[in-house]
Amino acid sequence: MRTALISDIHANLEAFEVVLSDIRDRGVDRIVCLGDVIGYGPDPCACIDLVQEHCEFSLLGNHDFACLLEPTNFNPIAAEGSYWTREQFEPTGEDLDKSSTARRQAFLHLMRTHAILDGDPDYLLVHASPRKPLSEYLFPEDVDNAAKLAAAFGPMPGRFAFVGHTHVPGVFAAELDQSRTVSVDSLFEFEYANELEGPFELDTLDGRLRFIVNPGSVGQPRDGDPRASYAILDRSSENPRILFRRLEYPAERTCEKIRREPRLADRLGTRLLTGE
């Protein structure tokens, strides 16, 4: 079973279409989305529609939550983007297709905060972190913060978790302590996806390692590489493998759409050109 893991589309239709095309070419069995389908970008309705059409399910991200309910702890640019996005889902215009509006709203309401893939507890999926599925950022530099990572890994029911949220693709590894749990005595590492030569093997050895995998962001990468990011999970061998993919897309087109919408800050478009 090969599963495409996508996350943080952020209403970037140009990036999402390129990713979907690549997924089709690679013959994966299914697509799952780790959340933040909307927020920041100019095409929330089209992106929700494509997720509904192509993904087995989508988790709830903090930006989906913000548009559905209200933004919490958002900076002014992100908050205003959320209010604008929310209005795109409201049946206010004369010529709006009311059934599409209702369908999109229902889809947002049904998003879950976490999932266990195929009922296998080794595969936990959340938007942000196992400890705080909606809000906790797990940054690469957190490998120096054992207390934070130990607490974040703690609620994992099995060996692997898959998260988005930071928009930085890569893999955290934790080596269990002497009592065979993840604690402040564990050793933590982070491998950047862009520094990998090939697929990353989730080496289960004798059960001493736990992994948290981030496929990166489809629609707003933040690791200094502006290409759209996603990953393919291949569980066909004894050790599961993660293939990270990076894809060029016409970011200047998305940037121009954002520039034309006065309530979306220009910075939301220009950052797409540099991946910052």
The residue ranges that bind Fe ion (CB under 5 A) are 8, 36
- Using the minimum distance from each CB to Fe ion, give the nearer residue, 8 or 142: 8
Per DSSP bridges, beta strands 241-247 and 30-33 are unpaired
Q: Sign of the C-alpha dihedral, residues 59, 61, 67, 71?
A: positive
CA dist., res. 274 & res. 44, Å (int): 22
- Using the minimum distance from each CB to Fe ion, give the nearer residue, 6 or 202: 6
Rounded to a whole number of angstroms, the minimum distance from the CB of residue 41 to Fe ion is: 10
- How many of the other CB atoms lie within 10 Å of CB of 268? 25
- Using the minimum distance from each CB to Fe ion, give the nearer residue, 59 or 255: 59
Residue closest to Fe ion when measured from CB atoms: 36
Residue 16's φ and ψ, nearest 5 degrees, are -65, -40
Rounded to a whole number of angstroms, the minimum distance from the CB of residue 47 to Fe ion is: 13
Contact assessment for residue 181 and residue 238, using Cβ atoms and an 8 Å cutoff: no
Which residue pairs, CB below 8 angstroms and at least 24 apart, start in 176-179? 176/207, 176/208, 176/209, 176/210
- Using the minimum distance from each CB to Fe ion, give the nearer residue, 134 or 171: 134
- Using the minimum distance from each CB to Fe ion, give the nearer residue, 8 or 136: 8
